[in-house]
Chain A
Amino acid sequence: MQIKCYINGRLFNEDIEPDMLLIDFLRNLGFTSVKRGCDTANCGLCTVVVNEKAVLSCSVLAASINEKHITTLEGLEDEAKIIGELIANEGADQCGFCSPGFLMNVITMKKELENPTDEEIKHYLSGNLCRCTGYMGQLRAIKKYLELGKDGE
């Protein structure tokens, strides 16, 4: 079937199988920041943004994004660099495999939550698993990131 969508602002007209998952659709088009970590929608690695909302691309059919706007980390390079730098400064980047999905959710969280507490941050991001870092360094980095906007940066 034929679908039309915008990925990171660019128009795509693609011919797809009706049962194709969004994650495979995106990776096939070269958006390889989107990672797969599970088969049961439990890890959060595949998170992308569809029309402003964070979704698990492993749990959505590509067919369902017809006419929609999708953002992957490739489309948020500047923001990714800012958060990435903060994470790296904490040493909280190990294998990095969980990073893209995690960053997508952090960016959405910043838009959705105002002055979240540590507990709220942890809850919001609880679907993003990381096996390497123990989460503490990520939390330190996110808190710095959330501070950023505040002094007009």
Chain B
Amino acid sequence: MKVVNKGINKLDSMSLVTGKPVYTDDIAPKNCLTVKILRSPHAYAKILNIKTETAIKVSGIECILTYKDVPQTRFTNAGQSYPEPSPYDRLILDEYVRYVGDPVAIVAGIDEKSVQKALKMIKVEYEVLKPILDMEEAIDNNTVIHTEDDYTVNFDIGNDVKRNICCSGGFESGNVDEEFEKCDVIVDEVYHTKANNQAMMETFRTYTHFDYNGRLNVISSTQIPFHVRRIVATALDIPKSQVRVIKPRIGGGFGAKQTAVSEVFPAIVTMKTGKPAKIIFDRYETFSAGTSRHEMKMKVKIGADKEGNIKAISMYTLSNTGAYGEHGPTTVGLSGHKTMPLYNKANAFKFNFDVVYTNTMAAGAFRGYGATQGIFALESAINELAAKLDMDPIVLKQKNLLEEGEVLTAYHDEHLQSCTLNNCINRGKELIKWDEKYPYRRISDSKVRSVGMAIAMQGSGIAGIDIASVQIKLNDDGFYTLLIGATDMGTGCDTILAQMAAECLECDMDKIVVNGVDTDQSPYDTGSYASSTTYVTGMAVVKACEKLKEQMLEEASKIMKVEKDTLEFDGKIIYNKDNSITIDRLAQELVVGDGNCLMASGSHSSPYSPPPFMAGFVEIELDIETGNIDIIDYIGVVDCGTPINPKLAKIQVEGGIAQGIGMAMYEDITYNTSGKMKNNSFMQYKIPSRLDVGNIIVEFETSYEPTGPFGAKSIGELVINTPSPTIANAVFNATGVNIRNLPITSEKILMEMMKK
């Protein structure tokens, strides 16, 4: 391979790193109205009265909208494929507010000052209702969070909204109870992962305007332009054909922008006023009125015989979707299905779940999407099982590990066609010097150094649902334009897709032009989420390029007057033993006279979602007097199939590990007793700085996935999954205490040590 599997620089690198105006707010016209939201101070309340008469008189105010002014069609903000799995439980503005931060009124004016002033002058009278703040109290509570009669779900998701259940379900293969009977050792524990904030550096932002055809243009920092088109059209009750969505460069997403958090607000202002409008969420709003990772409590039971052969695994997950059901029904499944298959040799698996509403900020998508939570629970339980068996956790894991060629019972019976996880473990073990360092070494009176490890999996796209289409055209100078609907959010997907096209068409990267997403121009793509871009969109690129090559051969054979199958293509010329034509010449001939402008499209969707794998290892230094942890080294060894661009893949891993360290050690959204978020800024919600992540070392153990482009699988989400269980394991190895409640803080460690 000439271009694929090479560490090529990102196409947009230079404009991004040198601060060019490429993000939404940099390109928004100056005459946009400023849009701001009045938000609920109550966790649950009914609006009895809103007075806007004085506020509207503030000079510069163009419009103030309340629940009386918005269309009454419920929708979901979740960016997902048809039929949308998340309940239709939202209005742009609702008579009921269901969490502190829920929108009450939209104010638009000529500048920030006038809007701020008007916001203060709106008078709202609420009937305050009793909120549910603890997810364990949600089911069958006297408080019902969604009482509206136009609440709908698109298909059976085990919804029982009167009982605050957004979704429920389960699966069993084999008979776990029978298997547990036969086990010598059983671990049965509950693990609790918290709501985290994606904390991408660019907050939510959108601007909207009418174009010369009177259509609503939405320019937004989003991962899901095509879903945004649908969501905005549904919310505003206008035809989808009236909406065009454009995605500029994005300052990070991590799943936050897989939900249409900001788009509807300026959109409705533009609809009502006819004027361009812009909303920029501040950091407080981005923390407290976006979506978080789903908080989950997972009860895990694992049984094994004395030799450490795992017989059965059962899991029950309770997931908190907050006030709205965005991504509620879809994240929860991953906590079981993208964890238990790691130990595929077990005879029986069982997985049940409930997803419940509470009066906290809605949960949504965040890198890892449920698998991250499940991996913390399952891997912690496996590490505890190893301790009970008095075995090295690595030995236990390798003994029970899934293997290439197996059918994964707990993973929709998918056939595992590529897996080098065992090599990943071996390599990581070597890099961290496990045999020397396990379980711990005392380095002073108060300091202990210990190691810990965990393994993880994810998927590559959503099997049978995600679809990507691309188009590629040959231009008159022998270069190509690649049109994609996948959204580069800093991940470099424009670059890796261009690499694949260049590989197929045997040309240099500079012959491929890639365009950002514009729903009027770009071919449909479900969007960049679920680790789908490399695997699903990549395959569509391969298909489109193959077709285009065939067309070029066909046209060349007509011009050269020879049989097509005598011809060869080498990227620069098309030739047979007697004759040849350069691609440039061919391209020019095709745009004159009775030429034929060539363009090919390819669509792809996969019946599989092949899992990528990772082994994570950590060495920590723990102060046994204070419980303080310092990360010394973090090793990640990854099987993502063929890394299309090893350099970009490596940064994905390093970045994912850093985020995972934050989740493991301090990121924890908390609420006060009346439901107000306590940590809605970087002051109170700490994310890792460069002082906190230790030394991160990354390697790849390449495998070849036959159903992926050039053997590739996904990478983006997998890499956040190992730090929580890995660090918990290291803490256990240092102190003998198990922290089953994230984050793993020094207070919790000390408290548990004191109990011993």
Contacts and interface: CB of A to CB of B under 8 A. Distances in A.
Interface of A: 32-33, 35, 37-40, 42-43, 45, 72-74, 77, 80-81, 83-85, 87-100, 103, 122-123, 125-139
A93 B283 CA distance: 22
A88 B13 contact: yes
A134 B658 contact: yes
Nearest to B22: A96
A129 B202 CA distance: 12
A131 B200 contact: yes
A137 to B, nearest CB: 5
Contacts of A122: 690-691
A32 B199 CA distance: 21
B250 interface: yes
Interface residues of B, number: 55
A35 B364 CA distance: 26
Contacts of A95: 16, 200-202, 249-252, 489-490
Interface string B683-694: 100010111010
Given A33-B21, A39-B681, 5 more contacts: A33-B19, A37-B201, A96-B16, A97-B202, A132-B655
A134 B654 contact: yes
B162 to A, nearest CB: 39
Contact of B19 (A73, A88, A132): A73
A73 B15 CA distance: 12
B490 A96 contact: yes
Given A37-B201, A38-B682, A96 B26 contact: no
A42 B656 contact: no
Interface string B620-642: 00000000000000000000000
A102 B11 CA distance: 20
B17 A99 contact: yes
Interface in B655-705: 655-659, 681-683, 687, 689-691, 693, 695-696
A135 B691 CA distance: 9
B592 interface: no
A2 to B, nearest CB: 19
10 contacts: A37-B203, A39-B283, A80-B19, A88-B9, A96-B17, A96-B251, A129-B201, A131-B252, A135-B654, A135-B690
Contacts of B608: none
B128 to A, nearest CB: 28
Nearest to B491: A94
B527 interface: no
B75 interface: no
A131 B16 contact: no
A42 B681 contact: yes
A90 B201 contact: no
Contacts of A139: 690
A40 B683 contact: yes
B14 interface: yes
Nearest to A79: B18
B91 to A, nearest CB: 28
Given A135-B658, A137-B654, A130 B201 contact: yes
A90 B284 CA distance: 33
Contacts of A81: 14, 18
B9 A89 contact: yes
B651 interface: yes
B290 interface: no
Interface in B187-209: 198-203
Contacts of B424: none
Q: Most B CB atoms within 10 A — which of A42, A128, A131?
A: A131
- Going nearest first, the 9 A-B pairs with the smallest beta carbon separation are A96-B16, A95-B490, A33-B19, A97-B251, A134-B654, A91-B647, A84-B17, A134-B658, A42-B682
B251 A93 contact: no
Given A39-B283, A133-B654, A98 B201 contact: yes
A85 B15 CA distance: 11
Contacts of B16: 93, 95-96, 99
Of listed A33, A39, A40, A138, residue having the most chain B CB within 10 A: A39
A72 B17 CA distance: 13
B23 interface: yes
B210 interface: no
Contacts of B492: 91, 94
B201, B250, B696 pick with most chain A CB within 10 angstroms: B201
Contacts of B645: 91
B262 to A, nearest CB: 15
Contacts of A89: 9
B580 to A, nearest CB: 37
A73 B651 CA distance: 24
A91 B659 CA distance: 18
Contacts of A123: 691
A123 B203 CA distance: 26
A79 to B, nearest CB: 10
A137 B17 CA distance: 13
A43 B200 contact: no
Given A81-B18, A88-B9, A129 B249 contact: no
Given A32-B26, A89-B9, A103 B17 contact: yes
B282 interface: yes
Given A93-B13, A131-B201, A74 B696 contact: no
Interface in B226-283: 249-252, 254, 282-283
B648 interface: yes
Given A80-B17, A131-B252, A131-B254, A126 B689 contact: yes
A100 B21 CA distance: 11
Task: Name the residue among B20, B200, B655, B656 with the largest chain A CB count within 10 angstroms.
Answer: B655
B650 interface: yes
B638 to A, nearest CB: 13
A39 B282 CA distance: 7
B647 to A, nearest CB: 4
Nearest to A31: B19
B10 interface: yes
Interface in B314-373: none
B661 to A, nearest CB: 9
Nearest to B648: A91
Nearest to A104: B19
Contacts of A90: 647, 651
B41 interface: no
Contact of A91 (B9, B199, B249): B9
Contacts of B284: 39
Contacts of B647: 90-91
B650 A91 contact: yes
Interface string B479-517: 000000000011110000000000000000000000000
B201 A134 contact: no
A94 B10 CA distance: 9
Contact of B10 (A93, A130, A131): A93
Contacts of B696: 134, 136
Contacts of B203: 37
B282 A132 contact: no
A125 B491 CA distance: 23
Nearest to A74: B19
Contacts of A125: 690
A69 B7 CA distance: 40
